[in-house]
Structure 1
Amino acid sequence: MKYVTILISLVFLFGFLAISQETSTEGATSGIMAKGVPERTITSPNASVPNKISYQGILTSSGGAPVADGAYDIKFELFNVASGGTALWSETQTAVPVSNGTFSVLLGSVTPLIGIFYQPLWVEITVVSGPGIGSPIVFSPRTELASAAYALGPFLKSGDNYYLNSGQLGIGGEPQENFLLDTRGNFSFIRSKATSGWAGFVADKTYPTDNNYFILRTAGVDKWVLGTMGNDNFQIRYWPLFQPYVYVDTLGKVGIGTTTPDKLLTVSGNAKVRDTLFVGTTTSSGQLNMYRSGVSLPVAKANSSVYGGQLQLFDELGNLVVDLRPNGYGEGGGVDFYRSPSERGVEIWGNAYGQGQGYIGVRGDNRSMIFDPRLVGNNSVQLPDSSISAAEMFNEPGVANSYVQGPITIANTGVTNILSTTINVPAAGYIVAQAHSYGYLSGDTLGNLIVSIETSPSLNSSLRGSAFGFANEVFGMSVLTWGQLSPHKVFYVNSAGTYTYYLTGARGYNRGAAGIYAAELLLTYFPTSYGTVQASIPASMVSEFDSPELINSGLSENSPSQNENNEELYKVDLRELEIKALKARAEAERAERELLEAQQKIQQPSGSEPH
């Protein structure tokens, strides 16, 4: 087919995105020519600049006649070299209407234009398809883009640099006040980014006494000012109060709330550290000093000693009153409480003399108390004469124990008493009962054996007892089997007295013979508890507790898990009894004290009240 030539008319306007471009008629070759028709001027600041290029052209045959009317697919490409290279941008517009050979398009309608208009660019055109086009036709040479006339102003060019000779520049709106550069918009930022090397902002004043600062405004009102004012010291001021909140002098001293910092950091006011405060480094020791108003010496110091950290407290005269420090023997530390400038009143060490033992010394003028586990026996506690009365030592923990070798035969029905232990306690408290024994079963059909600790020789409970054996299992021959039985229980007694507890045995499944060897029942008395003390009780004792919990609802035919009256069992916390006893004792002591005070008041003459 005949070759087709194209006559192109270009209109380029890039607003502030890029310098507007046009193709000069003097540079037109190979049947391509264009002329610029600007759509807007730079004097219309409120108009939105489209990211498109208006592009017109004429398609002609090799003989110069316009091509047939119709729709053509045309490809447009931008290169930064006159020939060869890789396209920086391209798009293909389909069904471009051509009438009498002419067409008009907006470049960027298919593929958005990108920021490449800072360098020489050439346009390459390819007619892909259309009436009479058998295969794509690339037109060459490429046409170089040139600047439109008004796109060159108002900037002046010096080498590769552009500048304004005078006036102000507004971005997003007309500049106001006396700002040389005024940016406006919903998101208005100025960015300085270095792809390599440095980036920043430079504000240069002529003399040190001049002002040089950056202003932050809200709705046109000055709020914060950052910079130097009247000198070269940096400061951050809240402008409505003209108050300098941060001040940095030329020696690097920082003041917060003050303009006269005398240390590298001086804070006038309250300060809070929400995470971690580091004082000192691995190569330089740090120290914290705390002062009280009107006192010239610090009242507290947190510093480092030869052996580690040290905390010291002082009175208003500078006398040491508390000294907390490592002991100097490796692990452990201690604290001294002073009763005079030179004498310690209390001395406490966690690892005294590095021997792995603690130490406490309480010292007075004539009497002292020493607690030193390094010493043996009574020497480890040294107290003044008559410092502890017999009554204070009476309710110490104690034990009682009973043992029987056996064998003790356990009856197939009812409850068998194996042995009992009696303990005499000095006051209300807890009795921990622990038992241990060996049980045996023999015969050709075996049941099981249950032992428990009870307050009566006729009781036996499988829920808090210990059991072993079988469910009447048939072996077909006579067998003998052994097992360990170790039940334990905790009881609470609400007064001093003598209490007896029993180790009892019973059969669950009662086939075969059963017995006990080497039975032992140990009772230990404790005057108080330090945690939960749970136990099971029968229904007849539930009224003594506030929060009983049912743990068994009935009696199994072959499992004597309740007492002889078939009472259901409840789980309770025995501390309830202790608390009730303590309350009753406190009420009794209060009543006795009030009575004594009333009697003393009656006996005292008027005006002789103690002071």
Structure 2
Amino acid sequence: MKRVIPFAIVLVLILSAATFATIPRYLSYQGVLTDAGGAVVADGTYSVTFRLYDVASGGTPIWSETDNVQVSKGIFNVTLGTLVGLSLPFDEAYYLSISVEGGSELSPRVLLKPSPYSYSTMNVWGASNVFPSSGYVGIGTKSPGKDLHIYRDSDSQIGLRIENPNTGANSAERISFSNEDGDIAGIVCYDHDNGAYPGVMSIFNNRPDGSLELKSSGGSVFIAKDGNVGIGSPSPTRKLDVAGTVKMNGFFMSSGASAGYVLTSDGLGNGAWAPPASISSDGDWTISGSDMYSAVSGNVGIGDNTPTAKLDIRGGNWDLDNTDGDLKIGDDTYKLKIGVATGGGGAGTAGIRMQGGVQKLILGAGSKEAMAIDSSGTVSLGSPTQDGYLEFYSSGISTPTLEMYNYSGHGTAVDMYNDAQYNTIELEPDYNGTGGYFSIYRNETSRGFVVDGNHLGTGNTFVDIEGEDRSVEFDMSSSGDASVALPSDAISAVEILDEPGGASSYNYDFNGHVLPSGSNDDILTKSIAVPAAGYVLVIATAQVNVTHSNGTSSNAQFAVSDASATMPAGKDVNLYLDSNLSTGAYRFPVTVHGMFSVPAAGTRTFYFVGNNASGTFNLTDVTLTTIYLPTAYGSVSSSVPSTAKAGEEGKEMAPALTSADIQAERAEAIRFNMERIQRELDFHMEPALIFCRGF
């Protein structure tokens, strides 16, 4: 079985004669010919019979034609009516049936679309395009409501187009409105090269008493037959008659105009230009040339019916951020604004502001600029051509209590005074050219504290502190003792020698300290008075003499501690001699140290602790030293004197040492150190295995 798939049906009407009877009619048809499996048939010529019915099924054909159609890739095209003419009126629905190679009719029949019915006698035909009967015409609608009704539901433009492509000068497009009086209203669009109306679109109404009206829901614009235009006025009496307020950016009336003339009005409201001299005075104001002034004495009120000043402005427009205030001077770009709050929580507040350009507000006296305020909040006194001068006053005091001024051409100086009008503080540029000078007075006439940043032009600082009969000087231009001058009794020998720092104990007993077995033993103790919270560094040293026996190990532990008979971790060392060593006497220097935190001021005691695990140990030349390291500075109390011996902790300090005492102490220390070195050289140290570890 073969099938035909229709692509399109198009009726072609060829107008080759002047009358309907002679117009040949054709129906173009295109389809796809396939076999029962849906594959297109082989290329070639096939016999196809076409029939027209006036019913969808059954019935008798009202026209038929058999054509040999050429099929290419399954597609064929045929023009019906070439063999058997189409004489049907096409004034009702028709159905097309198809059979191939004498076969049965394919189902269903094809309903012809509306375009074939252009043959209908009820439609436009002939060269003149005249509707032969009355009625409405619809484009896009089957139920037109007017003589011409265009309808299309589309998100795009729909419209009516009148096109005249003629290039002649007299070409135009026209819509006319006629009545019993003829063609006297309409719209005409003239060609751009029309001699009388080049490119003009003319809307006209030449009917008797005719006018034009442009109307909206809010009002109308009227053009009367005499050419007067009314806005909101249906019967305008002037060329422009406005029933309402007129807003404009400019005004032009050329008749009678001349430079300097003013606009005047007569009693009927007719305006005219006139020279100012012709107006003279209205009794209140006088115009003289380009000047105008009040002709009467008195006050002028703006917003005030009873002015009390020569110019009395009713304020209240104080918001200078969003308004121009109560008074504006300048233009809309560059303006000085002044506003006063007359109500609300800010009543009594006044604002002055310069806006536009550099935004600078200047106050002055005479011809000089005295003070300026800019938009950054900077307040300037004086100018490049005028020295600034600032004075502060106190109530009841006739002279200023603070002055800022130019000091002899060197720069700005500041002087402060008390209520008795005496100097209290001076801050000035250095008179030597660079640097500064600062002084504080201790009484009406004498300075108590002076800082000279460039002393005598040396570029060095000089500080002077003055009392009634004592003074302190710091001179950075001098060296040695001359750089600081203090009162002769300012620092005592005790203060020099007993500043908090360190304390030490020493056991120089030649017989030494025998370390007992089996327990922690306090070898030596030392106390130190710390002035504040901080740290104490504890250092213990000793010469350890070991009596060792072969076959038995010798083992001892040494530590520094802040608790009696205690071995703290991390602050100890171990001395160990292996059992394989020969029997004999061995000597080793041992040093152990630790850092201890002290939470507050007070006396702290520290210990050199030993523990004999096995063997015989004797310690000589034992020293325990404590050193305070502050973490903060404040009031400082003296520590235990450095000459304190074991057992002296907590005793009162000895009197301050004299120079002779210091020399004697120094000689004793040198002698003692030399003896110790000699003892170390005299002893013989045999080879040993020593293990020292920290715990």
Into which bin does the TM-score normalised by the smaller protein fall?
0.3 to 0.5
TM-score, L = length of structure 2: 0.34
Greater relative CO (CA pairs within 8 A, separation 6+): 1
TM-score (norm 1): 0.38
Which has the larger Rg?
Answer: 2
